[in-house]
Amino acid sequence: MAEMGNKVKLNSGWLAARSTEVELTGTQLTTTHPPSITPSSPWMEAAVPGTVLGTLVKNKVVPDPFYGLANETIIDIADSGREYYTFWFFTTFQCKLSESQHLDLNFRAINYSAEVYINGHKKVLPKGMFRRHSLDVSEVLHPDGTNLLAVLVHPPDHPGRIPDKGGQGGDHEIGKDVAAQYVEGWDWMTPIRDRNTGIWDEVSISRTGPVKIIDPHLVSTFFDDYKRVYLHATIEIQNRSSWVADCSVKIQVTTELEGNICLVEHLQAQKVSVPAGSTIQYTYPQLYFYKPNLWWPNGMGKQYLYNVVISIDVDGFGESDSWSHDFGFRKIESHIDPTTGGRLFKVNGQPIFIRGGNWILSDGLLRLSEKRYHTDIKFHADMNFNMIRCWGGGLAERPEFYHYCDIYGLLVWQEFWITGDVDGRGDPKSNPDGPLDHDLFLLCARDTVKLLRNHPSLALWVGGNEQVPPLDINAALQDDLKLHPHFQVSSKNNQWMSVSSLTPEDPSEYLDGTRIYVQGSMWDGFADGKGNFTDGPYEIQYPENFFKDDFYKYGFNPEVGSVGMPVAATIRATMPPEGWQIPLVNKLPSGYVEEVPNPIWDYHKYIPYSKPGHVQSQIELYGSPKDLDDFCLKAQLANYIQYRALIEGWNSRMWKKYTGFLIWKTQNPWTGLRGQFYDHLLDQTAGFFGCRCAAEPIHVQLNLSTYRIEVVNTTSNEISGVAIEASVWDLEGMCPYFKVFEKLSLPPKQTLSIAEMEYPTYENSKPVYFLLLKLYEVSNDGIISRNFYWLHQSGGDYKKLEPYRKINVPIQVTSKVNVKGSSYEVRMNVQNNSKNAESSSLTYKNNFINSQGQGDLDSNSLLLENKEQTNEKCSTSFFSKIWRRRSIENNGSRLVETNGNDVGVAFFLHLEVHDSKAEENEEGDTRILPVRYSDNYFSLVPGEAMSINLSFEAPLGVTPKITLHGWNLSQSLSVC
């Protein structure tokens, strides 16, 4: 049990069994016959929070459904019947109450309905996947403090059947329930056999006195250009005693200073009397702040958070209940931009160009955890994204998800549980009027709003994916989520009218009132704004197409996607050997190439790197792949180019044609083979780093359609005193083109076209060449943005890169490791030691400037600060098996070199972290994951150096080894 204040999580010690195999009643289980695990009993260790299928996988009753074709061997609920996945869950907990105390048993979500037994007493939990349940169990607790709890969980009422041809949402029956709709399968996901039945979110007990706090609502209002701010707070107060409770309701606001010192900004107490057995709504007098630190999205500034604590003291009892939440002062506005027709978002009065991604959920078996959420959200921030869309066929995401979005500055578009594919569209057509129980849908929606509304990252509510909810539901949501007048009316210079002059209602008295509600993902400034299907495209593209005027004609694209092949190690880890076969290639009479994937890849929804009739194979451009490793490496080349070009194409038309885009999609909730920047095992693809490059707040880029150099400045500051260095490098390591564009000033919130690249028009231009662009400060040569391209002449290909693998470029790596417990932080300097007369540029060391909002893993960040506070060690085993020509160690640093003597670009270098002992024994997948890199899949021209930071956790007893791989490194280099 994890204890948090007056709440204790019940997150361990659970047992589970199939209901048809348990002959005892819930009363018997929680009184005379508590279950235990024996060889003859049906009981097993349960995954709580989690699902029935997650429990079965955990106990190896069924195989891992994400491995190969194993999901096909697991019986589907449509064939087994609902009883097969109806399960008992059982645990015990310790609790004794004092006089006037109460205990609530809380389920933050169950799918889909349940019967709860505690010490022989039964309570029924009604239907709905997205609703909280809180039961006052004070009267049924056992006198000795040991309490027995059993929960019988029933699957969704309409689990549906999977048609032979599959499709989006199976036969769509799941849409009749208020539940996640992806579980019947999609074009990126196979069916989840139990439809996510289970206690899938947090279970807890919470102890209070006679008075309980329910669903506080925090709202901030701004005046005088954000100098004057008011905090509003409304709570429900429930008196569960038989007497009038005279209370002192307190609110305290603190901010954290340096050194873990907290400053109390406000402390206020008010007297309130609550009648016996009643619930009242109480609104605090507004709290005034002058020039508070504001919360900004990723890339626009820091994410300042204040801690708000609300407590209630009852006369004659003491503190009865308390609640706390981190809160960010920020104002989100949006409107349809008249120039582009797209929805334009503003945060704290500043327009923000939306560059983000679509999110399904972390894991298809709902094995959700705070640690996994932390990694997921930090990965999105590392890619320089500023918005995540929680897609309507998935979840109402959990508070832990939002917590990390608050910390890392990811705005969240939260959708309700309606999708066009299931609700009235598709084949077969089903439930055109949405869920059968509209009242249940609205109850779940309102409860979700109350659960999430205090998070500053929450940006907007959306009725559904590519569909509008039924008329009555949509009208109710529009009314429930209408904006408070303060958030409707603004005038020049953000001079808002006082709240009291607009309405007598405090904004915190609204259900929300601070964020817009949009009825569907393709309405009101998204896609064509009218609900016509104008999402996408979702397939491979020629990189230059993203820049063309006819690629996408609407202002905000909520879904645009492409390929997402992981690395070869992930394929081997998630598929048997028959799944390691690369696609067969059919050359069509039209001249295009058709890929034919093996059945396992097809089952895992592989999306090809060619589109006959439209796009030639972006893998065959490099030559026909020889094996799995070769295929996946060439796929990474294509991934990097594809997603960098996608973002840079939108960058090029920022505000002129576009207000934003969301990539479909950023990750997979299973071992899928499409649309992802990191795989289900948490290893990043090269597309991750292509995104990270292209989405940086200040960015230099090449328009692949016009061949003009452009600079994108998404910040609110004018950037002056900067220059651009453009250099072209050929396969012989020579630099036939070098030019500096000086005396540049970059206006805020604009994309500036600088000049046309001249090299491709040269008489002796090479068929394949490299272009390196650097935007830097003239005063100190500090790099603001660096961008490396590999290019071919029009109509050409990259086949000349194949023999380029045989050159041997000398690489030098200096590394320093900092270890604290199981956490490793490594800083290394990687240098291309090949010499060339043209490689003497002052920017060759790549001393990066820490750009605003780019995260804590920038290449110039100091991971090794405060060394005296950490336990540094560089063990001999950690640096063992270095096979390079020279290896020295000095003051904790390590230097290794290759024996190369050729001159050229060190192309497509990438780092990996492995368990060195497992590698020696060749024990399957030896990668240590996840790892955060400041950059990866990078290239260095002759003489150039790059500082790379990485951090990871190594399991106990594991010896990490970091290796450097590259296109033209003859062998991997063990650098740490």
Q: What is the mean pLDDT of the segment spanning 168-175?
A: 92
Average pLDDT over residues 847-853: 69
pLDDT above 80: residue 866: no
Give the residue from 622, 618, 623 showing the smallest Cα distance to 643.
618
Backbone angles phi, psi at 449, to 5 degrees: -60, -45
- Residue 885: pLDDT over 70: no
pLDDT recorded at residue 901: 86
- Mean pLDDT computed over every residue of the chain: 92
Q: pLDDT exceeding 90 applies to what percent of the chain?
A: 85
Per-residue pLDDT at 426: 67
pLDDT of residue 900: 85
Question: Which residues lie closer than 8 Å to 384 by C-beta, 6 or more apart?
Answer: 298, 299, 355, 691, 692, 695, 696, 697, 854, 855
- How high is the pLDDT of residue 697? 97
Buried b / exposed e over 22-55, threshold 16 CB at 10 Å, is bebebebbbbeebbeeeeeebbbebbbbbbbbbb
DSSP, residue by residue, 89-144: EEEEEE----TT-EEEEEES--BSEEEEEETTEEEEE-S-SS--EEEE-GGG--TT
- 260: pLDDT strictly greater than 70: yes
Catalogue the active-site residues. Answer: 466, 559
Using CB atoms within 10 A of its CB, is residue 569 exposed (0-12), middle (13-18) or buried (19+)?
buried
- Which of 336-345, 637-646, 700-709, 916-925 comes out lowest in average pLDDT? 916-925
Confidence of residue 163 (pLDDT cuts 50, 70, 90): confident
Inform me whether the pLDDT recorded for 838 exceeds 80.
no
pLDDT digits (tens, 9 = 90+) for 726-784: 999 999 999 999 999 999 999 999 999 999 999 988 888 999 999 999 999 999 999 99
Rounded to 5 degrees, what are φ and ψ at 261?
Answer: -95, 130
Print burial letters for 319-354: b (CB count within 10 Å at least 16), e (below 16): ebbbbebbbbbbbbbbebbeebbbbbbebbeebbbb
Region 80-92 average pLDDT: 98
DSSP per-residue letters across 448-460? HHHHHTT-TTEEE
The CA distances from residue 230 to 119, 263, 507, in Å, are 48, 18, 11
Beta strand ranges found along 803-882 (DSSP E): 811-820, 823-832
The whole model's pTM is what?
0.94
pLDDT computed for residue 330 by the predictor: 97
Q: Which residue, chain included where needed, has tokens 């890199």? A: 933
Q: What is the dihedral of CA 203, 207, 211, 213, to 10 degrees?
A: -40
**190, 64 in Cβ contact below 8 A?**
no
**CA nearest 672: which of 81, 130, 66, 245?**
66
What is the three-state SS of 662-724?
Answer: EEECCECCCCCCCCCCECCCCCECHHHHHHHHHCCCEEEEECCCCCEEEEEECCCCCEEEEEE
DSSP 295-341: B--TTTS-B--EEEEEEEEETTTEEEEEEEEEE----EEEEE-TTTS
Element (DSSP H or E) covering residue 229: strand 228-239
Q: Count of CB atoms within 10 A of residue 681's CB?
A: 17
The confidence score (pLDDT) of residue 399 equals 98
Question: CA distances (Å), 78 to each of 75, 193, 226, in order?
Answer: 8, 8, 56
Confidence class for position 165, pLDDT limits 50, 70, 90: confident
The pLDDT of residue 839: 59
Confidence of residue 851 (pLDDT cuts 50, 70, 90): low
Write out pLDDT tens, residues 553-609. Answer: 999 999 999 999 999 999 999 999 999 999 999 999 999 999 999 999 999 999 999
Torsion of CA 390, 395, 399, 400, to 10 degrees: -80
Distance of alpha carbon 551 from the chain centroid: 27
pLDDT digits (tens, 9 = 90+) for 915-943: 988 766 777 899 999 999 999 999 999 99
**Average pLDDT, integer, range 143-149:** 96
What DSSP element (H or E) covers 185? none
Is residue 871 over pLDDT 50?
Answer: no
Identify the pLDDT of residue 899.
Answer: 83
Question: According to the model, what pLDDT value does residue 863 have?
Answer: 30
Return the amino acid letter for 951. S
Confidence of residue 489 (pLDDT cuts 50, 70, 90): low
Average pLDDT for 901-906: 93
- 599 by DSSP, 3-state: which? helix
